[in-house]
Chain A
Amino acid sequence: MVDAVAAFVAWLGASVVVLADGRRGLALGAAISVAGMAVVALDAAGPEAAASVALGGVVAAAGRLRSGRGGWHIMPAGSTPRLVLCIAAALLALWIAAALTTGPAAPLRFTAMVVIGLSGARVLGADEPPILFTAIGLLALAIALAAGIGQIAPTPWPFLAAAVIAGLAGWISPRTVAAA
């Protein structure tokens, strides 16, 4: 039950990232999603993995607050297709995770699939660097989560690496991009 709620939270956070254009909205979405993913990771891969996800996500969310368009800008005008995408992705992922595939870790499957899918779609559809790097951070963490599927005792190394990537990506700002 806890995992199911956590999976829902992860989806919710990823959806906020998809629907938000402002730095606060992005940071909030990242934080919510990471919280959900950390709980799922705790069950799937242990406390080290969960701690890595949580830390990476917090650092990424903190970094996001520093740069990007000011304010929340959640569901701005013209974001209806993105909303449809979030709902459709959730339904599809739910069907696959709960009905089509078998095995005990349905929340893990749902979380990995939906966050990977929504993050990738967000990168495909966005132009602004803060949005792109926020989505990339989530993507990295979801990839690490996917490593736990089908394994009895996943190692924490992918989660650590993903946390580093997510944390660093959250601090890349347009000034960093221009300087490079």
Chain B
Amino acid sequence: MLQPEAVELVILAAAALAFAVAFSPPAASRRELLGKGGVGVVGAAAIAAVPTFEGTLLALLALGVLHSIIGGKRPLAVRLRGPVVAVTLLGLGAFFARVQGPEVMERFAAVGLVAGLAAGVGVLPYLHPIDPDEPLVSSPVVWLAFAGPVLAAVIVQRAQSLLPVDAAGAFGAMLIGLGLINVVWGGAAAWLTESEAVAWRYSFVADWGLVLCGLGLIVADGQRAAIVMLFSIVLGRLPLYLVALHAPHEKVVTGRPVNLVVAAALAGSAPFAGFAARLLLLRAATQLFWPLAIVLAAGMLLWLPGSLRLGRSLGLPKGRQAVGVALVLAVNVAAGLYPLPILLAAHL
């Protein structure tokens, strides 16, 4: 049976692709986006639709191969590494989950699943190398913001049926641990790194830190937080990144209103979707282990300096791009104030 969260994320990915096609400036790149992006959506749908775990891994492997052969500035080996290592680790994880043996096998299964998920998405400690000049369709951002959300939803849901209770606890704990590392590293790096393209990538990584924390908090609010956060990544951060990619590289020292509002959206300030996700995450953390909520709340402040920088990188959007930015912000405000439809669609 199709998993509702995964279906919803596939639809969101398709919507992000539609945005990219509609608001990307040059006509030539729109065709490329539509073609290659369409393949990505189909691949993500395949990951969600396949009923078995191994089928998911094979779909992931196929998608990884396809993504690597479409070209890009990075060497083929580098492009392949992430998805292939992900499949390897997830495969080994599933192996250890299925074999009968000592309890430590179950924990190794959890390790494989967590590490495989991190490698597939491209977060710490398995960051995919990035080339700042690489086109969007062949960059690691595709894994972070397009196929990765679907993969995460599927892996976590399948892991819950593969792993016994004790190992599931270890699985959740590792997700939270990795999540916190990504929150801190991603937040600091988005602020301090020199290249703007790299800063954008780290901002995705920081958001994924919250997603991983949400997925690791095995209460309903944790899953809700993760899905709303993924929404804000796919239909918030990704479209804004696309606009920033095509912005003229002028030296924007001062912030215009649009840059500041975008910065607020990227920082997860109220009333944007990121704030609703953070609220749900704090609820989940409070239910399970309240000191974690304090740590998360403190970590959430790290988004601000990087977001100010990223907001300025959009420059002054004009024409169609300005409409696109307004649309993204409006959607995120609506989702931030009223996230219930997103949660209901995911049956959460």
A interface vs B, CB < 8 Å?
96, 100-103, 109, 112-113, 116-117, 119-120, 123-124, 126-129, 132-133, 135-136, 139-140, 142-144, 146-147, 149-150, 157-158, 161-162, 165, 169, 172, 176-178, 180
Contact = CB atoms under 8 A, between A and B. Distances in A.
B77 A127 contact: yes
B58 A165 contact: yes
A150 B106 CA distance: 14
B102 interface: yes
B52 A177 contact: no
A158 B77 CA distance: 26
B65 to A, nearest CB: 6
B330 to A, nearest CB: 37
Contacts of A158: 52, 54-55, 58
A135 B65 CA distance: 12
Contacts of A150: 98-100
Contacts of A119: 88
Contacts, number: 109
B69 interface: yes
B105 A100 contact: yes
A100 B108 CA distance: 13
Given A120-B85, A127-B75, A158-B52, A140 B98 contact: no
Interface of B: 52-55, 57-58, 61-62, 65, 68-71, 75-77, 80-81, 84-85, 87-89, 91-92, 94-95, 98-102, 105
A140 to B, nearest CB: 6
28 contacts: A100-B102, A102-B101, A109-B99, A116-B95, A120-B84, A120-B87, A120-B89, A123-B80, A123-B88, A124-B85, A129-B76, A132-B84, A136-B65, A136-B84, A143-B57, A143-B58, A143-B87, A144-B54, A146-B91, A147-B54, A149-B95, A149-B99, A158-B55, A161-B55, A161-B58, A165-B61, A177-B68, A177-B71
Between B89, B92, B98, the greatest number of chain A beta carbons within 10 A of the residue's beta carbon is seen for: B98
The interface residues of chain A, by DSSP majority, are classed as: helix
A113 B71 CA distance: 31
A120 B88 contact: yes
A129 B87 CA distance: 18
Given A144-B58, A176-B69, A102 B92 contact: no
B309 to A, nearest CB: 33
The 8 closest A-B pairs by CB, nearest first: A120-B88, A101-B101, A150-B98, A147-B54, A101-B99, A123-B84, A149-B98, A127-B77
A172 B101 contact: no
A180 B69 contact: yes
Contacts of B92: 113, 116-117
A132 B55 contact: no
A122 B68 CA distance: 17
A143 B54 CA distance: 6
Between A135, A147, A158, A172, the greatest number of chain B beta carbons within 10 A of the residue's beta carbon is seen for: A147
B91 A143 contact: yes
A140 B61 contact: yes
Contacts of A136: 61, 65, 80, 84
B240 to A, nearest CB: 28
A172 B76 CA distance: 12
Given A120-B89, A180-B69, A113 B58 contact: no
